[in-house]
Structures are given as structure tokens and as C-alpha cells.
Amino acid sequence: KYTKFSIFYYWINSLGQKISICSRSENVTIPSGKENKTATISYDHRIMPLENTSSTGTYYCNVKWNDIQKMGKGVFVLARGTGYVETSYGWEILVTLTSLLAALSITATALLLWKRK
């Protein structure tokens, strides 16, 4: 009874619309000695690539047996146009610090030469 089921993948966009992605039917064979026992089977589904930023939303899977339906908790996906870019200020800080130290050094040298006269 529970060896034949269907898996449905869909997402709910920012407007609350349910959009079907794909579905598939499964027929699982039960190994000898495993009858009448609870089993868990994982199914992975990749959604690649996200077309654009409008792909943002919560993605779900839904499994249906003859008389039972189970829905996943959902995964929220935020699609961004440029992606995450980590900012690095290392070179800017180094150049700024070097310039500041050079300016102070030149000023100090000028003051020492001026006081000497």
C-alpha cells in the first residue's frame, strides 16, 4: 500500500502563488525481512540555476500516497542579482596607513629642520 507514492516539488513566490516545479512517481521495493517496519528514504532535488531574482520564495516538497499526504517544512531561498560579494578593505587600510605615516614622517622631519635653524 505504501510502496507507491508521488513526490511533488513546488514553490510559493512573493505574491503567494503556488508554482509547480516538477513531480515524479516512485515504486519502492521492500527488502525481505523489512515488511511492516517504518523506513525513511531521502530524495534530493536540486533547483539549478535560479533564473533571476524573481525565483525568491519558499520551496516545498509534498508526498502523496493513496490516502495520505505529507508536506515538507519548506526552504526559503533568496535569489539575488549579484550574489554575495565579501568586501575586503585590506589594501585600502594598508595604503591609508602608509600614506598617513609618510605624511607624519615628512612633517616631523620638516619641523626638526625648521627648529634647527
Are 56 and 98 contained in the same domain? Answer: no
Report field, pTM of the whole predicted structure over 0.85: no
C-alpha cell at 17: 502563488
| 91 and 73 in a common domain | no
Strands 75-77 and 69-71: unpaired
pLDDT in tens, 10-26: 888 778 888 888 888 98
Give yes or no for residue 89 having a pLDDT over 90: no
Q: Does pLDDT of 2 surpass 80?
A: no
Residue 101 predicted with pLDDT over 80: yes
pLDDT given for residue 21 in this prediction? 86
Residue 109 sits in the same domain as residue 62: no
Q: Are residues 41 and 90 in the same domain?
A: no
Domains held by the chain: number: 2
The 10s digit of each residue's pLDDT in 25-36 is 988 888 788 778
- Residues 73, 106: one domain? no
Predicted confidence (pLDDT) per residue in 39-88, tens digit: 777 777 776 666 666 778 888 989 998 888 988 899 888 877 766 667 77
Cβ distance 21 to 74 under 8 Å? Answer: no
Instruction: Give the residue numbers spanning the domain of 100.
Output: 86-116
Query: Do 45 and 8 share a structural domain?
Result: yes
Query: Is 11 within 8 Å of 19 (Cβ atoms)?
Result: yes
Question: Where does the pLDDT of residue 100 fall: very low under 50, low under 70, confident under 90, or very high at 90 and above?
Answer: very high
CB of 13 within 8 A of CB of 56?
A: yes
Pairing of strands 4-13, 18-27: antiparallel
- Which pLDDT value is given to residue 19? 87
